[in-house]
Structure 1
Amino acid sequence: MENNIAIGLDIGTTKIVAMIGRKNEYGKVEILGIGRSKSLGVHRGVVNNITQTIQSIQAAVQEAEASSDHKIEEVTVGIAGQHIRSLQHSDYITRPDSETVIDEEDIVRLINQVHKLVMLPGEEIIHVLPQEYKVDGQAEIKEPIGMYGGRLEANFHVVVGQVSSIRNIGRCVKSSGLNLEGITLEPLASANAVLSQEEKEAGVALIDIGGGTTDLAVFKDGIIRHTAVIPFGGNVITEDIKEGCSIIEKQAELLKIKFGSAWPGENKDNEIVSIPGLRGREPKEITLKNLSKIIHARVVEIIEQVYVEIKNYGHEEQKKKLIAGIVLTGGGSQLKHLKQLVEYITGMDTRVGFPNEHLAGNSDDEVTSPLYATAVGLVMDGLKRHERKKAEEAAAQQQPIDEDDNAESEEDMPQDEHINQPKPERRSFLDKLTERVKDFLDNAE
C-alpha cells in the first residue's frame, strides 16, 4: 500500500462506507474512491451478526477498490455504539525530584495512573484526554512540560467502552481480509472532518445523527471536553413512521427523506401523499402534517437527550460557554427544518456541517454530504497516522539509541529527543488500544 494513501471504514447501523483518500500537494484530502453497502448485522452501532457484517464490509471494500483502482489492505475503523460513555476524573502524581523540570515521562506516568481506575466488568478505558494541568496547585496550565514542580495533577476526560464490542469490530475487519491499522472514536472522526479550528477554540458541540446512534462531541479551547453516544438515530424516526402510518420500512424511509420535516407548522392540512398498497390492496393516503408530527415528536426527544449531555458538560458556566453553538452532521442532519428546531430547543446557534473543511476543492458533491462526515474523518485520521509513523522513523534514524536506556522506556514512548529535534507526538491511547486488539485477535485465532 502506498504510504500517502489511507482508507477509512465507517461501520454504521444503516450503511458501511469504505473511503480511500490521499493528501494532495496543498495538504488537502483528495478522495480517490468510495464504496458503500447496506449494513446488515449492526444494531445501534454495535455488531450483532458477525457473518453479515463481514459480507457488508467486503461489498463496500470491493466497490471502493473498483472505483479507485487501488487495492485495500489496511483500514482505520471507527468505534461508536451505545456502550460508549465518558466521565471526568482528576488524578495527581508526586515527583521524586522537584529540582528537575517536568518531562514527557511524568505525563505518561500520570496518564498511566488514570488507567488503573476501576471500571464495570467488561469495560475498558479507550481514551484518556488531559484537559488542563495543575503544578503545585497553580491551575489552568495548558502544557506543563519544562516547568518546575513537585506535584503534577490534571483533569481528564476518560472515554470508556465495552471491550468485547471493540474486539468484535476488529474480528469483522480481520475476517474480511483486511488489516486493522487504527481505531478511532467516531465522534472524534466526524469532528475532525467538519469543524474548523476556530470553532473548536470558541467552543462547539458536534451532533452526529447517524442511523442507529447520535454521537456528541463538545470542544472548548481546542480540546475535547465531553463525548456521549445516545442510542437513537434516524432509524427510530423511520420506525415511528412505519408504525404510525402502517406502511413498510422502505416506504417509511422514502417518505422521511422526500417529504419529511421536523417542523409540523409549515404543512397545510390538505397536502397528501398517496402510497401504493401492498399487492392488491388500496393505496394509503397520508397527510404531510401527520408525517411531520410523527417526525417532530421523535426528533425533539433525540435533541433533548443531546441537550441534557451538553448541560452535563456545563455549558451554562461563563468560561465553558460554547460560542460557536452547535454543528449538526451525519445522515440525519439532512432532515428539513432540523436546524430551526435545534435552535428553538437549545437556544444555540446551529449550522449543518459538511465535511468539505479539509477536502480538495474538486471533490465530488456526493463525498461532501454530511452522510460521509465520519468516513472522511477516518481517512484523515489514517493519513495523520502515516505522517506520525514517518516522523517517528525519521527521528529514530537520526539518533543512536543507548541499549540499556532503550530497554525500560521503549514500550511507553519514543525516547526523549535532543531538544532541537522535531519531537514525535505522544502516542495516543487509541494506538495502544489498536495494538491490544490486534494482539488479542492474533492470539485468539
Structure 2
Amino acid sequence: MNNVQSYIAVLDPGSSNLILSLGYKDDMGKVNIVSSKSRPIDTEIRRGVVQNVDQVGLMVEELMRELLRDLDRGCSIDRVYVGLNLYSTQCIDSSEKLNLNSQELITEEILSELFDDAIARSLPENKEMIAHFEQEYLVDGFPCLNPKGERPDSLEGRYKLIAARTQYMKNLENSLSNAGLKDCRNILGIQASAEAVLSEEDKNKGAVVIDFGGGTTSMCIYKDNVLRYVCVIPYGGKNISRDLKQLNLSFSQAESLKLEEGTALHYTELMKKEALNKTEEEIRFFSEPLHDDKEINEIVVARSEEIVENIWAQIIYSGVEVGKIGSGIIICGGASKMDGLEDLLRIKTQMPVRKADLSCRLSSSCRVEFQDPAYAQTIGLIMLGEKGGCRGPLYSGQSKEQPRQATLPMEELEEITQKAPQKRPKTEAVKPDKKNKEKLISKIGNIFDDLMKQGDY
C-alpha cells in the first residue's frame, strides 16, 4: 500500500492548447506535477467554448493514454477537474430575504433554503450555475458573515452567482463523456488561477487576478477573503496574432512576430523609457523606429490597449472600490508574457502590477518548466482538487517521456486549404497597403462591440 500514490487529474480546455495534467499535493501542501500533455487547438475550441465535440473527445482520450504511460504501470483516471473560462460566463448579483420573527434558530438548512430561493429567482433559464460565492448576510439589517445560531426577525443573504450557457456546458460534458470520463468536476478557471497566484494576505487586502489566455482574458477580484467579481473578456493573445495577419502573414508567422517583436507599449512610450537611461549626447542620436516596426507596434498596441481598457471598465463596474484593492493586479496565463503588458496596465489603471510567481506553490522536485505563468490554472486546479480520482505507483521523480511541446495553432479552418506564405526573414518587414492601415486600426476598435452583441452579456 505504501507504493501507491493518489493523484489528481486536471484539464485546461484552452483556446490555444488543450492541457491534461496529473499531479498531487505533498505533505506541505505543495504541488508536484508528475506529467502534463497538450494538444494545439485550432477551431475545436473557440473563446473557451467546445465547438467540435467529437474531435475534442478524441484529443482528451489521446492525452489520457499518453499521460498514463508516464506512470509505467497500470492505473486509470476516474475523475478529472476541469477549468472553465467560457466567454459567456456571467456574474449575477442575487439576494433573498427571509422573515423569521425571532422564532427560529438559524441553521444550515435555513441557509440552504435561502440560497435555493435566491437561485430560483435570479438564474436565467438558459444558464447553468458553475459556481457561487456568499458575499454577506444581513441579520436584522446588520452585516454578518456567519449567522448560524442567531434568532433574528429577518435574514437576508447576498450572493454572486457565476453562470454560463447551458448548451456550452453540455458540449464540454459530451466531449469528455466521449473520452470515457464520467466524473468531471467543473471549477471556475479564474478561481483556480487565483488560488495559485494569491496569498491569504492578498485575498484579504484585495487583489485583481488577470489570466491572459489565447481566446479569452479572465479576471476576478478578491476583497476581505471573498471573491467579489468575475468576468471573461472574449479577447486574448490569438486576436493579436490575427490582427498581424493583415501584414500579409500566415498565422504562424504572425504568432512568431508577436512573440519576437511585439510589445504592448506604444513606441512613443518606449522612446520615453529609453530616453530616461541615456545621456543628452546619446539622446541627440536616438531616432524613432523604422516605418515597418511602427506598423507592427501600432497593430499590437491597438489590440492590447483595447483589452486593457475593457479590463479597467470591468474593475470599475465590479463595485469594489479601487483604492481599497491593496495588493493591486497580478497577471498570469500564456499571453501575459508579452513585453510591456505590465507597464501598460500600470499606466492605464494607476495600480501596482506584478507577474505571478508560481514557484512558491510547487514542490522542490517539480520541474522548473511548470513555473511558467501558463500553468497557473493547472496548478490551481490541483490545489482545489481532492485526491482519489487516480491511483497509481509512487512517482519516481522522472517521467517516462518528456512532455510534448505544443506547436503553434493554425488559424481558422478555411486557412487549412490555403497555401501558407513563405516565412520572411526577420530583417525584412512586409509592408502592408498604406491606404488600408488607417482602416485596419480603426476596425480593431469596433470588433469588440460587434462581438459583445453576439455574446451573452
State the TM-score, normalizing by the size of structure 1. 0.78
CA 1:269–1:50 in 2, change beyond 3 Å: closer, same or farther? farther
- Give structure 1 stretches of 5+ with no counterpart: 273-285, 387-445
Q: Structure 1 residues 14-23 or 79-88, which shifts more?
A: 79-88
Residue correspondence of structure 1 range 343-358 to structure 2 within 5 A: 343-358=346-361
- Aligned partners of 2:211 and 2:331 also within 8 Å: yes
Q: Closer, same or farther in 2 for the Cα pair 1:13/1:35, shift >3 Å?
A: same
Could you tell me which residue of structure 2 aligns to residue 363 of structure 1? 366
Aligned equivalent of 1:412: none
Cα shift at 1:255: 1.1
Matches within 5 A, 1:78-227: 78-95=83-100, 98-139=102-143, 141-227=144-230
Task: Name the SS for the 1:77 alignment partner.
Answer: strand
Deviation at 1:118, TM superposition (A): 4.9
Alpha carbons of 1:3 and 1:182: their partners in 2 closer, same or farther (altered >3 Å)? Answer: farther
Q: Which runs of 5+ in 2 are unaligned?
A: 272-285, 390-457
Match of 1:327, SS state, is: strand
Q: How many residues align?
A: 368
Among residues 287, 291, 297, which one is paired with 2:296 in the alignment?
Answer: 291
Q: In structure 2, what is the Cα distance between the partners aligned to 1:357 and 1:151?
A: 45
Shift of 1:251: 0.7
Supply the distance in 1 between the matched residues of 2:60 and 2:366 (Cα, whole angstroms).
24
Q: Partners of 1:385 and 1:113 in 2: how far apart?
A: 33
More off after superposition, 60-69 vs 247-256: 60-69
2:37 aligned residue: 35
- Report what 2:421 is aligned to: none
Counterpart of 2:380 in structure 1 is: 377
Per mean C-alpha deviation after superposition, the further-off stretch among 149-158 and 233-242 is: 149-158
**Structure 1 pair 120–264 and aligned structure 2 pair: CA distance change class (3 A):** same
SS in 1 for 2:112: helix
Note the C-alpha offset of 1:121.
Answer: 4.2
Bigger RCO of structures 1 and 2 (CA < 8 A, at least 6 apart): 2
The 1-side partners of 2:341 and 2:65 are apart by: 35
User: Which residue of structure 1 lines up, in the alignment, with residue 233 of structure 2?
Assistant: 230
Task: Tell me how far apart the structure 2 counterparts of residues 60 and 378 of structure 1 sit (CA, whole Å).
Answer: 17
Residues 354 and 373 in structure 1, CA contact (< 8 A), matched pair in contact too: no
- The 8 Å contact of residues 90 and 162 in structure 2, kept in 1 or not, is answered as yes
**AA partner of residue 88 (structure 2):** H
2:265 maps to which of 263, 266, 269:
263
Q: CA shift at 1:294, angstroms? A: 1.3
Mean CA deviation greater in 58-67 or 109-118: 58-67
CA distance in 1, matches of 2:360, 2:115: 32
- Name which of 54, 74, 77 aligns with 1:72: 77
Aligned equivalent of 1:26: 28
Letter paired with 1:94: N
8 Å contact from structure 2 (residues 265, 344) kept in 1: yes
The answer (yes or no) to whether the contact 1:78–1:184 under 8 Å persists in 2 is yes
Shift of 1:315: 3.3
CA distance in 1, matches of 2:349, 2:212: 16
TM-score, reference length from structure 2: 0.76
The verdict on how the C-alpha distance between 1:157 and 1:119 changes in structure 2, with shifts beyond 3 A counting, is closer
CA contact (8 A) 1:264 1:296 kept: yes
Amino acid at match of 1:215: S
C-alpha distance in 1 between matches for 2:182 and 2:94: 34
CA distance in 1 between partners of 2:104 and 2:320 (Å): 38
Residue correspondence of structure 1 range 327-342 to structure 2 within 5 A? 327-342=330-345
- For 1:304 and 1:136, the matched residues in 2 are separated by 40
Aligned residue for 1:306, secondary structure, equals helix
* Distance in 2 separating the partners of 1:347 and 1:78: 30
CA RMSD of aligned residues (A): 2.3
SS of 2:294's equivalent? Answer: helix
The equivalent residue for 1:407 is none
Cα deviations by residue, 1:308-358 (Å, 9 ceiling, x for unpaired): 11101123366xx21111111111100011101100001110111143342
* Structure 1 residue 269 displacement after superposition: 6.7
